[in-house]
Amino acid sequence: MIILLPTAVLSLVWVAASSNIDLVNPLIGNTGPEPNFAGGMIPSVAPPFGMTRWVAQTHQNYVSRLPYNYSDSEIIHGFVGTHQPAIWMGESGMVGVVPGLSSSTDGKVKARFEERGLRKRVGSEKFGVSLYEVELETDGGGNIDVAMTATSRVGHFRFTFKTDAAWHPYILLQSSRPSELFHSTPTASHFNISYPDGWTSIFPEQNRICGYNSEMQDWVIAPVSSMQDVENKQRDGRGHGGFKGWFCAIFDREFDGYGVTQGSEQRDRALEGLGEEVGAFARFEYPSDQEELVVDVRIAVSFISMEQALVNLEEEVPQGTPLETTEQITRAAWEEKLDRIEVEGGKLEDRRVLMTSAFHALQYPYEQHEYGKYYSAYDDEVHDGESYNGYSIWDTYRAEWGFLLLFAPERIPGMIQSMLQDYKEGGWLPMWKNIVETNIMIATHADSLITEAVLKGFEGGFDVDLAWEAVWKDATVPPEKDWEVKYEDREEGVDYEVRAGLSSSYADPKKGWVDDDIHSESVSRTLGYAYDDHALSLLSAHLNKSPSVTSLLHERSMRAPWLVWNSDATSVDDYVNEEDKIRFNGMTKGFVQGRNVDGSWADPTSGFTEGDKWAYSFDIVHDIPGLIEKRGGKEAFVQSLNEHYDGGWDWFGNEPSHHIPYLYTMAGRPDLTQHRVREIARANYNDTPQGLSGNEDCGQMSAWYIFGALGFYPVNPVSKEFVIGSPFFDKLTLHLPSPEPDASPFYDAQRQAYTLTVEKQGDPEAIYVKSVAVNGEEVDLYGGNPIIRWEDIYHGGNIVFEMSNTPVFAVSDDTAGIVHEEL
């Protein structure tokens, strides 16, 4: 034992120094010139998939604004446990923790956001995945030092007051606050302040403060039928009915005074408060023999009850747990995930972007269950089971879900079961679930998530019959009032949007497009529904459903995209400047375009979701050969991709652009994919707070980077195929978890994981690929089958890219003459 000790110490030091956690920069993607050009990521502490994320508060948060903005963070207004999943979504059930000082003359507690801010000491702020630290300057001349960590349902703080004894330290727990609600109409959008109810109760004998608020900003866009149960119960127009974000905070010191605040009023020695802008505070005394006062606070949250918050507290951070222990538990949870990645070579900055991408991608969807139970806002009841929240499915079906299937398979059954519970409790699978369904974005891509999971072997993990029932409803049952309601983005007072326009699309079986003069986003919907039908045709075949069902879905999926394809449309009128008009000269022919009820073409700019005719014309991922043909063959198709990029039509920060660079490879020009993917990675990702060019969207931006780094991308997520790109690092290894022993030659029994390695040979600076071998067998990269299969990687594997400094193309290729100007 004694002999082993130095080795143990040494190895500890070595592990700490080499941990991937140190490569994570939680500030990446926090800010940007405006919300649409920012990642909108909150630099929070929480474990992977954690229910509540804790962050220093610089702003009151709401749709379009985060609780922390690094560009504007000199003043810290306390700390929040947040459930805001993304910048364009609302907050639900937040809780605020605010340290402060009263002067001994007036005893004032500063509760309001505007008055309670403290300046952070320059250089004192430290961000980590499991620990945040800052020193706050006070009027009293001293500091309040803060250390913050968190488990999934418990925030753990240490406040060290180092101030003049004339000042009296307190900690305020904010239950309810003024809350901005975002209302959007086709012509304008505006904010309207609301005042959700809150409640607080102080238990001085137990050193405890509990409370709740009913804040749920996105209730304004919840489907009307999902609100009915809630309305029957107790909706009061100020919050979402029965929903409550509960909390219980326990302090490790006796209170030396306490009270309740309401707005700017203060009631010392009051034990309870109810209503708008409610808070409760506890005061503390400096130990007589010391110059510092240290207060440890553990704050549990619950969506179920105060009692449940106390259960969560004892489960995760039992009494007496030092902050260091809590921090180590969360750190270990991240290490368990991030140390499954080994990266060699590349720039340090790029390795940091990669590891932070994994850190982002492993936060969503997040836990909403609390030890065997969960609160459902769909029926306003507590149920048994596991539940998840933060489903941005229109974004995440592309690559984020594929990453989770590979890298966090243990979570998949629970995440799908959660979607099926939403179906049982609300009648539909989620589109964008932020506690409630929000109808944000379009199409029923839960169909894709479920299909991809079943085809990739997760069938046993959830109720597949129920899943089929739910997806079949998506494909066949239109929403309420489908002929009247436009289902605009964020339209209020409407029901579940699901496949809006399904009624009119198939009113005549020969039709199949969503009418632009009835519905918003008609082209994007038509294409999205076609893709979902494609996914379901594969699922139907896999589950041995009736052949007529499979062929109906297949037929719809292959026909609908071409109904909105206008072969005569060109790009010539898209350019404002004459020079570009002449330069491209209507080069690209054939674009998607909306159609009206009578079959006529709609305005070419109408009918798109976060994109335009350019991006969406490439968004027919299940029929790329058909698309290449419509664009006039491979050469014309490659030209059209060049025009897409060189003509300035790509907006990579929006998801419909994500797969586009890989289409070059599918048209016989892998060299151009290799070039573009590297260019896109450089232009849209970096190791700074401005390091994401577009919204993270619950992991999708980051999942793109991870697949980019691996050198392959899921262009059609349900195909089980990945299109080959150009790997970023000399060697990237993923240890894919699998607790069951396996005969795969790539199974690592010690790690209980499959080993997947991607290696580059040749000049590490080279971006072009000469050849690719998967498990020793060469891939037909330049001969028309540039694919890596799920079967090649999910039980581990070895992929070797031989790199080249110059572009490579097949001699016989009819597109070989096309060069991209900037090459």
Secondary structure (3-state) at 228: helix
In angstroms and rounded to an integer, the radius of gyration of the C-alpha atoms of the chain is: 27
Is the N-terminal amide bond of 365 cis, ω within 30° of 0? yes
**CB contact at 8 A, 557 and 519:** no
The correct pick among 21, 23, 27, 32 for binding ligand NAG (CB under 6 A) is 32
- Angstrom distances, CA of residue 601 to CA of 185, 527, 568: 25, 16, 11
Residue ranges in 60-119 that form contacts with ligand NAG under rule CB under 6 A:
66, 69, 71-72, 87
**Interacting span for ligand NAG (CB under 6 A) from 26-34, 150-158, 373-381, 500-508:** 26-34
**Interacting span for ligand NAG (CB under 6 A) from 30-38, 295-303, 325-333, 480-488:** 30-38
> By CB under 6 A, is residue 34 in contact with ligand NAG?
yes
Q: What b-and-e string marks burial along 757-789, b requiring 16 or more CB atoms within 10 Å of the CB? A: bbbbeeeeebbbbbbbbbeeeebebbeeebbbe
> By CB under 6 A, is residue 40 in contact with ligand NAG?
yes
> By CB under 6 A, is residue 189 in contact with ligand NAG?
no
- Residue (32 or 169) nearer to ligand NAG, CB: 32
Cβ of residue 41: shortest distance to ligand NAG, in angstroms?
A: 9
> By CB under 6 A, is residue 184 in contact with ligand NAG?
no
- Residue (39 or 142) nearer to ligand NAG, CB: 39
In angstroms, the CA 126 to CA 135 distance is 10
Cβ of residue 701: shortest distance to ligand NAG, in angstroms?
A: 14
> By CB under 6 A, is residue 33 in contact with ligand NAG?
yes
- Angstrom distances, CA of residue 236 to CA of 132, 242, 492: 38, 10, 17
Task: Give the type of residue at 774.
Answer: V
- Residue (31 or 217) nearer to ligand NAG, CB: 31
**CB contact at 8 A, 658 and 398:** yes
**Interacting span for ligand NAG (CB under 6 A) from 31-39, 48-56, 623-631, 812-820:** 31-39
- Residue (40 or 242) nearer to ligand NAG, CB: 40
Cβ of residue 521: shortest distance to ligand NAG, in angstroms?
A: 24
Q: How far is the first Cα of the chain from the last one, in angstroms, to the nearest whole number?
A: 62
Cβ of residue 330: shortest distance to ligand NAG, in angstroms?
A: 25
- Of 634, 645, 616, 701, nearest to 670 by C-alpha is 634
Phi, psi of 64 (to 5 degrees): 90, -5
- Residue (58 or 201) nearer to ligand NAG, CB: 58
CA angle, residues 521, 527, 533, in degrees to nearest 5: 125
| Residues contacting ligand NAG: total by CB under 6 A | 15
**CB contact at 8 A, 154 and 300:** yes
The correct pick among 19, 22, 35, 225 for binding ligand NAG (CB under 6 A) is 35
Under DSSP, the state recorded for 519 is S
In the shown chain, the binding pattern of residues 649 to 688 toward ligand NAG, with x for contact by CB under 6 A and - for none, equals: ----------------------------------------
In angstroms, the CA 455 to CA 448 distance is 10
Cβ of residue 688: shortest distance to ligand NAG, in angstroms?
A: 12
Q: Where are the alpha helices (DSSP H) in 647-694?
A: 663-666, 670-684
**Dihedral in degrees, nearest 10, Cα atoms 795, 702, 712, 343:** -70
Strand partners, 799: 758, 774
- Residue (74 or 254) nearer to ligand NAG, CB: 74
Cβ of residue 419: shortest distance to ligand NAG, in angstroms?
A: 29
**CB contact at 8 A, 156 and 148:** yes
In angstroms, the CA 546 to CA 172 distance is 62
- Of 41, 63, 40, nearest to 127 by C-alpha is 41
- Angstrom distances, CA of residue 209 to CA of 110, 120, 214, 558: 17, 26, 17, 59
Residue ranges in 535-574 that form contacts with ligand NAG under rule CB under 6 A:
none
Cβ of residue 72: shortest distance to ligand NAG, in angstroms?
A: 4
Residue ranges in 487-506 that form contacts with ligand NAG under rule CB under 6 A:
none
Cβ of residue 71: shortest distance to ligand NAG, in angstroms?
A: 4
Cβ of residue 205: shortest distance to ligand NAG, in angstroms?
A: 38
Under DSSP, the state recorded for 527 is H
> By CB under 6 A, is residue 204 in contact with ligand NAG?
no
The correct pick among 23, 38, 94, 498 for binding ligand NAG (CB under 6 A) is 38
> By CB under 6 A, is residue 775 in contact with ligand NAG?
no
Cβ of residue 73: shortest distance to ligand NAG, in angstroms?
A: 9
Binding interface with ligand NAG (CB under 6 A): 31-35, 38, 40, 66, 69, 71-72, 87, 183, 192, 194
